[in-house]
Amino acid sequence: MTSSIDLAVIGGSGLYKFPGLENTSRQSVDTPYGPASGDVVIGDFAGRRIAFLARHGESHTLPPHRVNYRANLWALQHLGARRVIGVNAVGGIRADMGPRVIVIPDQVIDYTHGRYTSFCDVEGAGVKHIDFSEPYTASLRTALIGAAHRAGVAVIDGGCYGATQGPRLETRAEIARMKRDGCDLVGMTGMPEACLARELELDYACLALVANFAAGCGDEAEISIEEIFAHLAAATAQVPPILAELLKT
């Protein structure tokens, strides 16, 4: 299927509907990999057509390890998307990546297990060895950083996203290991989304919204879910102006 979709956005925790989306229609896509997280909502934003999909479902019913990442990416491509922005809630490991900070990472370490990580994992599919040395599309990252600057939104350029299984938060020891490994952020949904987008030859980049410091990295004795969602709400409010500028390019 072809479409005039200019950008697809996959919303993470706290972003279940895209603010300001007008003239919307809902598309339910049958995929070879089962159901996507929900309907894809297509509409007008900043004078362009975008597709929006809530990664966890619009009522946040899907935990990170149960998201059908293959169906989500396939559905967006089927509807005509060629550029995809993944919006991900994360924890900060690096000292300058505290709550409400927005990061555009450039590397990934995958600690997940038991997820379908490739479209090759079906009977009769060919084996495809993608180059994943740079997991995010450089040109889209550059455009996203420039869009944030034009929108007046501070972002950090670069950082390593460590993807964990979830849905539980990590132990202090696990975060200490991830820090030794070179991770700057920790999240639960960055993989296999990024590598599946690469297999489909989609341009893909991540807007990582820091909801909290990871275990042992901040002053808090205990991480409060209420505080996490308050920080997420503040960071999420910065996403539409960034994407409005991105759509000008």
Residue-by-residue DSSP string for 38-77: SPEEEEEETTEEEEEEETTTTTT---GGG--HHHHHHHHH
SS3 (DSSP) at 81: coil
Q: How many CB atoms lie within 10 A of CB 243?
A: 24
Distance of CA 30 to the CA centre of its chain: 22
In tens, the pLDDT along 102-150 reads 999 999 999 999 999 998 877 777 788 989 999 999 999 999 999 999 9
In tens, the pLDDT along 45-93 reads 999 999 999 999 999 999 999 999 999 999 999 999 999 999 999 999 9
SS3 (DSSP) at 13: coil
Instruction: Give the pTM.
Output: 0.94
In the chain the domains, ranked by start, together with CATH numbers, are 7-246 (3.40.50.1580)
List residues forming the annotated binding site for phosphate: 13, 55-56, 189
List residues forming the annotated binding site: 13, 55-56, 188-189, 212-214
List residues forming the annotated binding site for substrate: 188, 212-214
